[in-house]
Amino acid sequence: MSTQQEAPTFVPLGSGRHPLRALVPEDTFHITRLGLLAVYLCGYLYWLNYRGVPIDRISVAISIAIFLVCAFIGRSLRTWAVLLADCALYSVMWLAYERTRGAADDGIHVFGWFTIGPFPRQLDVMREIDRAMFLGNDPNVVLQDRLWQNQVRWWDWVASTTYMTHFVLPMAAMAVLWAVSHRQWARFIKRFATLLLVACVMFVLMPTVPPWMAGDPKYGYNVLPQLHHSAGRGFYDLGFRGFVKSYTKALGNGNPVAAMPSLHSSFALIVPLFFMQWIRRRWVKWVLLLFPVLMLTSLVYLGEHWIIDGLVGWAITVSAFWFWDWHEARTRTRRVASSEAALA
């Protein structure tokens, strides 16, 4: 008997005879999805240039829905059912956020039985914390005195563009994770929803007067010199003349005293912090972490937030990551122990 073993036969994947094709069906809609996503990207850029950034929740939801249809076309019915359930949870999360944020100044009415709040507006404490960190100076006033000019400068472009990413970046990250990996989307949304939950509670308990309002005589505070309040002027100057809803109208649908913590700062940190797990080079990670610093600097320059608003937002974001990292590690350890016990 011959002891020689027959050499394995390798069959090219594209030859039509590969045995894995019987187990893993060919995805005939793969090229279609790529083509639709390319069309979507071109359409979005066209809309961005000629119609403006969709910053209201309805327009953002519509743009995400179109993206998901392009990304999920040809998927199984089960995948679509999971997607619809996810969308329902996503909508409930944002609805709860909008209702709570809008009630930050008037309190929350619980089923018409009783009202939680309204609580006193915070102003002096926030200002004094900022002044303590900057040796008795008001950072908002200092930045505007040094940088604000009647003519739009390049730093106005940077500040406005950075500010506007708040309305696009986190939702774009969710949509991409939705299309690529449901598990990673679930991990991201747990951290994101935890951040929103804590923020909503703080909005109700600590309604905070933002710097631009503290310096506007019509609100009667007169704590700061009157600040320039035009977060979109650098963005307009770049040629983006309109929004799906104007910036002023979008602000009117919210609550200006729902400012502690700063979700602009939180969202600017949560996206790079989540995607950092797939980055190996340390210098790239540090570059990514410059973005939330740039966001907070822009917010202070534009008079939108106190520095302490942004620092608290960062602290809540990091805490949400710490909690869910700990919970996921604990769950993995428990499952490994259970599997080892079953094998034994």
pLDDT confidence band for 106 (50 / 70 / 90): low
Across residues 153-163, what is the average pLDDT? 90
- 4-13, 17-26, 326-335 — which is least confidently predicted? 4-13
**What is the reported pLDDT for 65?**
81
Q: How many residues does the chain have?
A: 344
Task: Confirm whether 302 is domain-assigned.
Answer: yes
Mean pLDDT of the chain: 80
Count other C-beta atoms under 10 Å from residue 254's C-beta: 13
Predicted confidence (pLDDT) per residue in 21-53, tens digit: 555 556 677 788 888 888 888 887 777 767 666
Distance of CA 182 to the CA centre of its chain: 17
Count of structural domains, the chain: 1
Domain holding 67, by residue range, is 27-106+117-333
Indicate the helix (H) or strand (E) that contains 114. Answer: strand 114-116
- Is residue 199 assigned to a domain? yes
Higher pLDDT, 51 or 308: 308
Any domain includes 60: yes
- Confirm whether 112 is domain-assigned: no
Q: How far apart are alpha carbons 64 and 179 in whole angstroms?
A: 11
159-184 burial, b if ≥16 CB within 10 A, otherwise e? bbbbbbbbbbbbbbbbbbbbbeeeeb
Token pair belonging to 59:
């327009």
C-alpha Rg value of the chain to the nearest Å: 25
Backbone angles phi, psi at 110, to 5 degrees: -95, 100
Q: What is the mean predicted confidence (pLDDT) over 176-180?
A: 84
The first and second tokens of residue 29, run together, are 């809609």
Q: How confident is the model at residue 310 (pLDDT cuts 50, 70, 90)?
A: very high
What torsion, rounded to 10 degrees, do the Cα atoms 146, 148, 150, 153 define?
100
Q: Is residue 194 part of a domain?
A: yes
Q: Is residue 91 part of a domain?
A: yes
For 177-200, what is the mean pLDDT?
Answer: 88
pLDDT at 10 over 50: no
Q: Which long-range contacts (CB under 8 A, 24 or more apart) does 102-105 make?
A: 102/253, 102/254, 102/255, 102/258, 103/204, 103/255, 104/203, 104/204, 104/207, 104/255, 104/257, 104/258, 105/207, 105/255, 105/257, 105/258
CA atoms within 13 A on the CB side of 108: 16
Q: Is residue 18 part of a domain?
A: no
Residue 175 lies in a domain: yes
In this prediction, residues 258-274 reach a mean pLDDT of 91
Which residues are within 8 A (CB) of 323 and not within 5 positions of it... i.e. 6 or more apart? 194
**pLDDT tens by residue, 72-95:** 887 778 878 888 888 888 777 777
Q: Which residue has the higher pLDDT, 267 or 342?
A: 267
Mean pLDDT confidence for 121-139? 89
